[in-house]
Amino acid sequence: MSYQVLARKWRPQLFEDLVGQEHVSQTLKNAITADRVHHAFLFTGARGVGKTSAARIFAKALNCQEGPTTRPCGVCPSCVEITKSQGIDVLEIDGASNTGVDDIRELRENVRYLPSQSRYKIFIIDEVHMLSINAFNALLKTLEEPPAHVKFIFATTEPHKIPITILSRCQRFDFKKIGLVPLQARLRTIVDEENIQVADSGLAIIARSGGGSMRDALSTLDQVIAFCGDKIDDDELQSLLGLVSRALLLATIKAVLERDSGQLLALVQKVDEHGFSFRQFCQQLVELVRALVVLKVVDQPGDLIDVGETELQELRSLAEPITLEDLQRLLAILIRTEADLAVSNYPRLTMEMVLVKLAGLPAGIDVATLIKRLEGLEKQLSSGLPAPPTRPVERAPAVPTGEIPPPPEEPATVKEPEALFTPDSGGKSWPGLVEFVKNRRKPRISSLLEQSSLLFLELPQLRIGMPGRYFSMADSEMRQAIQDLAAEYFATEVKIKIEKNGNGNEVPLSLHEERTQQESDRQKKLRENALEHPLVNSALNIFGGKVESVKPIDKGFV
């Protein structure tokens, strides 16, 4: 005898066998019990959820020799013929193959004749949405006023393609996708009867791969049994289906939350070593994070997430310390990454960089919290906190000027220590000499003098200390040029002497060093004043940030 696939071998034979479609089963049974059976039914839903099986069970219930009954016997000739798809009075028609108006005309001719041996002549048309418009029009009159001995059962996965004139003449039943828990329970019954050894975690993987379809799940189970034999190992199962292990997914999310970039790179390497698709890996991460979001929003998720009880507890402990805002941000980035991976030439690199980025993201603050803090700041201001003064002409400064007075305007030259002036210099100074050289368009000489220190000034003697890295530039030509410019500036003969700094002797600061130090002290004072200002402190408390830099308003800051 030839092998029969599990989907056919374990096809439901009673209303009670329809997993996850209790609302349909109960309605049909009530209609039979009350003798209020409509003449046309439309079964809609995803593939493999039991539409055709329900149609056959309903046909058996109506034509069973013991019926009409809600529990067909399954042994009478009518039940046996329908089970084997050999019923003379129960015709199963493929809508995809019989789309034309001529096929419907033939059906209309057949409707006129009484059933040969059954109570009703029943027409089951699968994928009815494939019929042409002309075929639907030819069916309208018959469907509206069929003979008493005729019942129509239509099945489709795309009800939106059926004309409204047809829909209005049918009782519609929407079949739901089968949840993970009932699907897994049905698989457990089947594998126990088939003497197949498989853990609950393995059945959960198979059930999840079915995507809510019993037929798809059973087809996967058939494939797994052919690969693994009577004993199914989880690792072999995941390898066969190309799925990343649940433990690896949980470890990835945990590493992101713990900001462990090194661990994330190691996990990505494992995914690559096992030959898994990075896009599939990202899709599974999206599903996992979505489950965490559901657990943050709903205390009892029920059918909202397809996980077993053991895994549900693991997810609860993982979701507990995370904020909903962080999970939503994580989910949005992973969804964009999944789309990028579809066209990326470097999927591993893309996945690595995204996970490292996620591990480095700072904790987010929800908008409601920010608004609450802003309202608190508004109350503080209205209670008497002085507002920062504004000037009518100048643009508003970023840092309030009420607490940080603008610094005095910098002079064109830096004041020289008193000890370096002599009466013989005529009030002229070393900074004046440097500025004089700069005005004479001698940039090379003026830059060199700015980096040098004044050691002694008592005309006609002028001693200059020059840093070691510049000392080699002070050749005889340079010395003569400096001496000539100094004589012109001081209006008298000047004898210069250039010495090399760095022999262990302390030397005065150069003009460049003095300006740098003054600017540093000023910037430090500006920062201290800014951090002491109450409005700045309130802003930091509201937004949870830190001051990166402080810019004075007299430096062109807008």
- The verdict on 283 and 349 lying in the same domain is yes
Residue 91 has pLDDT above 80, yes or no: yes
- The verdict on 130 and 218 lying in the same domain is no
Region 219-237: mean pLDDT is 86
Q: Strand 453-458 and strand 461-466: pairing?
A: antiparallel
Indicate whether 249 belongs to any domain.
no
pLDDT band at 480 (very low <50, low <70, confident <90, very high): confident
Q: Strand 171-174 and strand 231-232: pairing?
A: unpaired
Mean pLDDT over the full length of the chain:
81
- The verdict on 135 and 154 lying in the same domain is yes
* Cis peptide upstream of residue 397 (ω within 30 degrees of 0): no
Contacts of 538 (CB under 8 A, 6+ apart): 377, 380
- The verdict on 44 and 170 lying in the same domain is yes
| pTM for the structure as a whole | 0.58
Per-residue pLDDT tens for 62-79? 999 887 889 998 888 889
- The verdict on 188 and 167 lying in the same domain is no
Residue that finishes a domain, picked among 241, 260, 292: 241
Q: How many domains does the chain contain in total?
A: 5
Q: Residue 286: its pLDDT value, please?
A: 92
Indicate whether 254 belongs to any domain.
no
Read off φ and ψ for residue 42, nearest 5 degrees.
Answer: -125, 115
Q: 154, 41 in Cβ contact below 8 A?
A: yes
Region 306-320: mean pLDDT is 78
pLDDT band at 415 (very low <50, low <70, confident <90, very high): very low
- The verdict on 494 and 540 lying in the same domain is no
Q: Residue 374: its pLDDT value, please?
A: 72
- The verdict on 163 and 228 lying in the same domain is no
Q: What percent of the chain has pLDDT over 90?
A: 18
| Amino acid of residue 335 | I
Stretch among 128-142, 273-287, 382-396, 514-528 having the lowest mean pLDDT: 382-396
Residue that finishes a domain, picked among 241, 261, 283: 241
- The verdict on 123 and 208 lying in the same domain is no
The domain in which residue 230 lies consists of 180-241
